[in-house]
Chain A
């Protein structure tokens, strides 16, 4: 722009459209309709993602620390517990017992006391029946007239006269707790801070490690099996490639349970593979191989189930690698192997990367297959999560475990980005 025109525009202010409105506003208006239409088009997806993904994840994160139940069920007691110094080793005084009875009478009426019992039972064995049984007695008390309550409660159940009962309630009365996360890493919340679980209850760290290691093994065996298959797919003429592709996709069309159960029939000691091996004389009848209900079973079955997730991204990347690259390499004097290793392989790495991320993340959260064929040594952390969701109802712990799993995936993803580069991931 020349110097002469500059003052002009400055004076004139914003550029105007033909009808005198500022051009920017005019433009924004004309674009608004387009934007609205675009929004309307993606709105269903956006809402779907929000409802089915963002909100559940948010609620999981919240649930892993949320512990409002104690405060809601026993509001007066929690206040009194703040005043009680557990470290003296003395039992609380009458006001706390009175507050507790007052809280309980309301809670029993609303049938909330047994829920609290279940919640406290995660922390201390016996709390479940303590709340349930005591509830039947406390129901009969009138907080206004029947005091004092300390002796009456201890009469109802001697556990109310135990220091530990109250200190456990106090420890877990905070509204936002780290207790579930501590439990998730084999620790526990105690009045004296975080402490390790007793050795005979430590299981989750082991499971986390096992999940990661086995997922890596599964990913590696998927790479080893998928690579030649994907190469073949990418290099066969279209007709045979389509046929082969159907074979690759076939597992997708069969129910997961059926496939996993089929592996049971194949792998068990009286199963097909062992029968064949015995028949061939490679294995004696007395020492049939244990291929299932252990880690081997999980690895075999999961490798099979996840294989398509490795083959497909590999295939779509390999299909884009022009055969002339290999020809060029050979024309320059490279042997088949050098041409493959120096040229083809590096170009196929994005496919391996994409497949690996897919398979690894899927396997890290896998549940059904390890449950069916994993026995005791081949189960994953997700089996424990499932247990806490559906059997123990300890959803807080399940959420904490899930959150850790999510964090592990994100960390690995970040590490992958640092080491290999996320640009090096292609799905086609």
Chain B
């Protein structure tokens, strides 16, 4: 019996690497974003390897679900698309696998190792960056009067721009913008925000527009509010605004100022079987190479996370418009930007969020 079992194990071990699983589950955000991934990554990958890919639109709850799966001892996901902050969280929780960029990710066409090509964007040991997006403001061109807003503090200027504005129902980004418009220098924002006084200062600034704010919690809210004319301006992901402006042709324009750069990318759940891990890594190696990242920008206005991909960004696959000017990374748009401070928010999120929610409820 025992020998039989050993034999079985040996055979499986030998056979496994050759015959990889023919199916994998990839988790993402759904909507236009998943569609861009489908066309840029999944379809070519399936064509190349024959592995069929199951989409699961659970990224919004990915952290909690992964933790629950881990506790139940049954992780059913192979690759998960999450924002960088969630990747850090998952990494801290031991729920995501650590990635060695240079051995596990493809080098640039010119041979630059992945770690250099991604550079600073490798914000966590477990995170494989995919796109750079930004949280920016859009405004109704027909509701702002003669002078269109050009800088972020227009959000706080209810005299010049009366009407409602929509902001995300969380402290991140809002607190930074509040401090910026309260006269804090960009380089000092996080130092100030680390102090209780600084937090009060930010909330006090937000207080001046509190009655004029509609708070959103889903990325689709602001585009809808803008389209309905419910708000005069609002923050959301730049890709969503692109679709309101270019695809739906709504009277909406971008306010490219102090937009907050954020990253979205992949993680591989910790504790996968060797077979599935190999499969996931194979997919990642393919899907995050220079060409593939550039391809995704054909379908959605998010910038590729590799430096080497930027020159390859072309026109929108369906509308034929040049995508570069719509990228948050375009030099014209990126004159004044903010990079999400992951380290800061990982530490301060619990504390500031409690204060922010208490302030909201007041």
* Partner-B contacts on A (CB < 8 A): 110-112, 114-115, 117-118, 121-122, 125-129, 132, 197, 200-203, 206-207, 210, 268-271, 293, 371-372, 375-377, 384, 387, 389-395
B230 on interface, CB distance cutoff 8 Å: yes
- Select B360's contact among A125, A128, A376, beta carbons within 8 Å: A376
B275 on interface, CB distance cutoff 8 Å: no
Can you list, as one digit per residue, whether each of B27-63 has a CB less than 8 Å from chain A (1) or not (0)? 0000000000000000000000000000000001101
Instruction: Check B347 against A129 for contact (C-beta < 8 Å).
Output: yes
Instruction: Check B89 against A393 for contact (C-beta < 8 Å).
Output: yes
Residues of chain A lying within 8 A (CB to CB) of residue B229: 270
CB distance from A311 to the nearest CB of B (A): 31
Interface size class of B (residues with CB under 8 A): 20 to 34
Residues of chain B lying within 8 A (CB to CB) of residue A390: 60-61, 63-64
* Partner-A contacts on B (CB < 8 A): 60-61, 63-64, 67, 89, 91-94, 164, 169, 200, 214-215, 217, 228-230, 343, 346-351, 353-355, 357-361
- Select B357's contact among A110, A111, A129, A384, beta carbons within 8 Å: A384
Known contacts: A125-B350, A375-B215. The answer to whether A114 contacts B92 by CB under 8 A is yes
Residues of chain A lying within 8 A (CB to CB) of residue B64: 389-391, 393
Known contacts: A111-B94, A390-B61, A392-B353. The answer to whether A118 contacts B89 by CB under 8 A is yes
Instruction: Check B354 against A128 for contact (C-beta < 8 Å).
Output: no
CB distance from B48 to the nearest CB of A (A): 33
Residues of chain B lying within 8 A (CB to CB) of residue A201: 351, 354-355, 358
* A249 to B217 alpha-carbon distance, docked (Å): 30
* A269 to B163 alpha-carbon distance, docked (Å): 11
Besides A118-B89, A210-B361, 19 more A-B contacts (Cβ < 8 Å) are A110-B94, A111-B94, A112-B94, A115-B92, A121-B350, A126-B347, A127-B347, A129-B343, A197-B354, A200-B358, A200-B359, A201-B355, A206-B358, A207-B361, A371-B217, A376-B215, A390-B60, A393-B63, A393-B89
Instruction: Check A117 against B228 for contact (C-beta < 8 Å).
Output: no
Instruction: Check B215 against A293 for contact (C-beta < 8 Å).
Output: yes
Closest 7 pairs between A and B when the two form their complex, measured CB to CB: A114-B92, A390-B64, A203-B358, A125-B351, A376-B360, A201-B354, A111-B94
* A42 to B97 alpha-carbon distance, docked (Å): 43
Instruction: Check A125 against B215 for contact (C-beta < 8 Å).
Output: no
CB distance from B347 to the nearest CB of A (A): 5
* A269 to B231 alpha-carbon distance, docked (Å): 10
Residues of chain B lying within 8 A (CB to CB) of residue A207: 361
Residues of chain A lying within 8 A (CB to CB) of residue B228: 268, 270-271
Instruction: Check A129 against B350 for contact (C-beta < 8 Å).
Output: no
Residues of chain A lying within 8 A (CB to CB) of residue B359: 200
Instruction: Check A202 against B93 for contact (C-beta < 8 Å).
Output: no
* A392 to B61 alpha-carbon distance, docked (Å): 11
Q: Which of A117, A201, A377 has the most B CB atoms < 10 Å from its CB?
A: A201
* A1 to B268 alpha-carbon distance, docked (Å): 81
21 A-B contact pairs sorted by A residue (CB < 8 Å)? A112-B94, A114-B92, A118-B92, A121-B347, A125-B348, A128-B346, A128-B347, A129-B346, A129-B347, A132-B92, A200-B355, A201-B358, A203-B354, A269-B164, A271-B228, A375-B214, A376-B360, A387-B353, A393-B63, A393-B67, A395-B67
In the complex, the chain A residue whose C-beta lies closest to that of B360 is A376
CB distance from A412 to the nearest CB of B (A): 23
Residues of chain A lying within 8 A (CB to CB) of residue B164: 269
Instruction: Check B93 against A118 for contact (C-beta < 8 Å).
Output: yes
CB distance from B341 to the nearest CB of A (A): 11
In the complex, the chain A residue whose C-beta lies closest to that of B64 is A390
* A121 to B89 alpha-carbon distance, docked (Å): 12
- Select B91's contact among A114, A377, A391, beta carbons within 8 Å: A114
Instruction: Check A377 against B215 for contact (C-beta < 8 Å).
Output: no
* A23 to B60 alpha-carbon distance, docked (Å): 65
- Select A114's contact among B94, B169, B230, beta carbons within 8 Å: B94
- Select B350's contact among A110, A111, A384, A392, beta carbons within 8 Å: A392
Residues of chain A lying within 8 A (CB to CB) of residue B360: 376
Residues of chain B lying within 8 A (CB to CB) of residue A118: 89, 92-93
CB distance from B92 to the nearest CB of A (A): 4
Instruction: Check A117 against B361 for contact (C-beta < 8 Å).
Output: no
* A392 to B357 alpha-carbon distance, docked (Å): 13
* A369 to B277 alpha-carbon distance, docked (Å): 39
In the complex, the chain A residue whose C-beta lies closest to that of B164 is A269
* A129 to B357 alpha-carbon distance, docked (Å): 23
Instruction: Check A376 against B361 for contact (C-beta < 8 Å).
Output: yes
Residues of chain A lying within 8 A (CB to CB) of residue B89: 118, 393
Instruction: Check A117 against B350 for contact (C-beta < 8 Å).
Output: no
* A392 to B170 alpha-carbon distance, docked (Å): 12
CB distance from A136 to the nearest CB of B (A): 10
Q: Which of B67, B215, B350, B360 has the most A CB atoms < 10 Å from its CB?
A: B350
Instruction: Check B67 against A293 for contact (C-beta < 8 Å).
Output: no
Instruction: Check B94 against A394 for contact (C-beta < 8 Å).
Output: no
CB distance from B10 to the nearest CB of A (A): 29
Instruction: Check B347 against A115 for contact (C-beta < 8 Å).
Output: no
Residues of chain B lying within 8 A (CB to CB) of residue A372: 217
In the complex, the chain A residue whose C-beta lies closest to that of B93 is A115
Instruction: Check B357 against A203 for contact (C-beta < 8 Å).
Output: yes
Residues of chain A lying within 8 A (CB to CB) of residue B200: 200
Known contacts: A121-B347, A125-B350, A393-B93. The answer to whether A377 contacts B361 by CB under 8 A is yes
Residues of chain A lying within 8 A (CB to CB) of residue B61: 390
In the complex, the chain B residue whose C-beta lies closest to that of A136 is B125
* A394 to B358 alpha-carbon distance, docked (Å): 17
